[in-house]
A and B are shown apart, each in its own frame.
Chain A
Amino acid sequence: MTAELEFLGVTVKIRERMLLDALTLRVERGQFVALIGPNGAGKTTLLKTALALRPPTSGSVHVRGSSVSKLEARVRAAEIGWLPQHIRADEPLTGLETVAASRFRFHESHAASRKAAERALARVGARDYSARSVTELSGGERQRVAFACLVAQEANTLLFDEPANHLDPAQQLEIYRLLGELWREGRTIVCINHDVNLLSHLGDAARVRIVGLCAGRIAFEASLDDGALPERLGALFGVQMDSIQGIRQRFIVPYARSQS
């Protein structure tokens, strides 16, 4: 069977800096991959190679058997959608117009785009922002609108770049609950994440593949209930990690920097 998303020996080199180092990763249909790693490990670069935003120096990325760099733009958008870490909002369009614009890949009327945009905004609980200008929204509100954009695009595979960044705790949980919902609908998801504890809000956390990335290579792969996970995460970030059993879940928390 062909993989939903496959990175084959992907190397990205900018001048002498190695961002990705012959990385190979196979993501099957319906899987949830949590990419974790220190800043500069190459996580965002990896997502960008899958989007054909950053062509690899060598190696290739395939989505359901075809190379992403050769896909027609609209076909690629049907396969892969993306929620970037930073959302630029220079144009004072309304939330609704912004989300409707993300329906670009569909050949449909503007009215149909608006309908789909309304549904997507309602789904992520951002209906209140549909008439407001995106430039006036707060960071968290804008993130919601961008999430609605991704939902409206209706791609098979979804790439998230720290979707809970800068959000308050309630919003963080809500975003991960939504991620879990999309996942259970059969979407394949690759999500950059800095806090494995949030993954338990997905719903079926034991099935999540946690992939540790360091210096452009895969350092380890584990599941959330893996007993060795705290130690591996500690090694990845250069900290000492503790594992605390809470009432409902186990928490993995750093408590000191590693001695080096």
Chain B
Amino acid sequence: MKARALLAVVTCLGLLLAAVLVGQRLSGPEGAFIVWQLRVPRVLVGALVGATLALVGAVFQALFQNALATSDTVGTTAGATVGALAALAFDGSRSVQGLPLVTTCAFVGALAASLLVASFASSRRAHSSDVLLAGIAVTLATSAFASGIQYVSDSRALFAATQWALGQLPQVGYRGVLLLLPVCAVSSISLLLLTRHLQAFALGEELAHSRGVNVPRLRFLALGLGSLGVAACVAWCGPIAFVGLIVPHLVRLLLGPSYRVVLPMSLLVGAAFLVGCDLFARLVVPGRELPVGIVTAALGAPALVLLVARSRR
């Protein structure tokens, strides 16, 4: 198992490095510019976003004891979508304090929707399944709201909204990295500190309670902190599907179910997975880039089915 973990670490780091180096042959000052000003920050953003989405997925799956739980099922993504669509319908090019209005609104929307679910989750009476249901209800309600916005938007805003909803790693430069890094770091590090709490959930929520876990508080913390990181990622990149679902399952299948392994490895594998998918998106159609969200869904979903099928044998 140790050798496997090491192999996984090396593979992931290799993939991250390859994403910077692979591409058109580059030389001279122009090449240096492309590598250092375009590729490196893009890889860094991809790594941050992939790591955060994957870790949060792993945490939510543990928290809800549900293999399908991700930030998409607790309303975070839907909240971001409403925020982004509202901004695009209003004025897509405007910015607030140097930040694009779309990003700001998506961030606020994601946090608002998740806080709604998190505050419900912190109620003493609520069970995990109720919280998941609340998340789905918020998702459906905000989706209806988003449809309403789209209905009154003009065609330019609609096109921008469609593009946003595909999910892609934007060219945000080092400034984007610097904005994303603290939020993702706070979210990820504090989630990693909850490993022991989540492991105590292994035999169910009631037993976790009897073992001394403050279940409502843990739910609030994990949902709040996880959503914070995801909100920042979705605000920049749009909803990138499947990373939070596939990566934790992949890690579990390769390295076993202990959260002490799954959580930190999800960070690394998530980073490599998204950067790898982005590399593929950059190269697959020459002269044109695909949105990475399409690649993660197209590659990831069948890969997951294959892996699960193999592990059942």
Instruction: For B62, list chain A residues within 8 Å (CB).
Output: 91
Tell me if B199 counts as interface (CB < 8 A to partner A): yes
- Given contacts A51-B210, A82-B207, A102 and B258 within 8 Å (CB-CB): no
* Cβ contact within 8 Å between A84 and B196: no
Give residues of chain B (195-224) contacting chain A, Cβ–Cβ below 8 Å: 196-197, 199-204, 206-214
Which of B65, B197, B206, B211 has a CB less than 8 Å from the CB of A102?
B211
Instruction: For A105, list chain B residues within 8 Å (CB).
Output: 211-212
- B83 nearest CB across to chain A (Å): 34
Tell me if B94 counts as interface (CB < 8 A to partner A): no
Tell me if A97 counts as interface (CB < 8 A to partner B): yes
Instruction: For A53, list chain B residues within 8 Å (CB).
Output: 206, 209-210
Which of A75, A82, A94, A110 has a CB less than 8 Å from the CB of B210?
A82
Give residues of chain A (66-89) contacting chain B, Cβ–Cβ below 8 Å: 72-78, 80-82, 84, 87-89
* Cβ contact within 8 Å between B211 and A153: yes
- B35 nearest CB across to chain A (Å): 41
Instruction: For B206, list chain A residues within 8 Å (CB).
Output: 51, 53, 84
Tell me if B257 counts as interface (CB < 8 A to partner A): yes
Q: Interface code A132-147, partner B: CB below 8 Å = 1, 0 otherwise?
A: 0110000000000010
* Cβ contact within 8 Å between A77 and B257: no
Instruction: For A87, list chain B residues within 8 Å (CB).
Output: 203-204, 207
* Cβ contact within 8 Å between A73 and B207: no
- A250 nearest CB across to chain B (Å): 35
Instruction: For A51, list chain B residues within 8 Å (CB).
Output: 206, 209-210
- B260 nearest CB across to chain A (Å): 7
- Nearest-neighbor residue (CB-CB) of A92 within chain B: B257
* Cβ contact within 8 Å between A88 and B210: no
* Cβ contact within 8 Å between B203 and A77: no
* Cβ contact within 8 Å between A104 and B212: yes
Q: Interface code B224-268, partner A: CB below 8 Å = 1, 0 otherwise?
A: 000000000000000000000000000000000110100000000
- A82 nearest CB across to chain B (Å): 4
Instruction: For B210, list chain A residues within 8 Å (CB).
Output: 51, 53, 77, 80-82
Complex Cα distance, B258 from A51, in Å, reads 27
Residues of A in contact, count (CB < 8 Å):
36
- Given contacts A84-B207, A104-B196, A78 and B212 within 8 Å (CB-CB): yes
Give residues of chain A (26-84) contacting chain B, Cβ–Cβ below 8 Å: 51-53, 55, 72-78, 80-82, 84
Complex Cα distance, B256 from A98, in Å, reads 13
Give residues of chain A (186-202) contacting chain B, Cβ–Cβ below 8 Å: none
- A106 nearest CB across to chain B (Å): 9
Complex Cα distance, B209 from A76, in Å, reads 9
Which of A80, A100, A146 has a CB less than 8 Å from the CB of B203?
A146
Instruction: For A90, list chain B residues within 8 Å (CB).
Output: 65, 204
- B244 nearest CB across to chain A (Å): 18
- Nearest-neighbor residue (CB-CB) of B196 within chain A: A104
* Cβ contact within 8 Å between A93 and B212: no
- Nearest-neighbor residue (CB-CB) of B206 within chain A: A53
- A149 nearest CB across to chain B (Å): 7
Tell me if A101 counts as interface (CB < 8 A to partner B): yes
- Nearest-neighbor residue (CB-CB) of B258 within chain A: A97
Interface centre among B202, B209, B213, B214 (most CB of A within 10 A): B202
- Nearest-neighbor residue (CB-CB) of A100 within chain B: B199
* Cβ contact within 8 Å between B258 and A76: no
Complex Cα distance, B211 from A134, in Å, reads 18
Instruction: For A133, list chain B residues within 8 Å (CB).
Output: 257
- Nearest-neighbor residue (CB-CB) of B197 within chain A: A104
- B64 nearest CB across to chain A (Å): 11
List 8 contacting pairs A-B, 8 Å CB cutoff, sorted by A. Answer: A74-B212, A78-B212, A88-B207, A97-B199, A102-B211, A133-B257, A146-B203, A149-B211
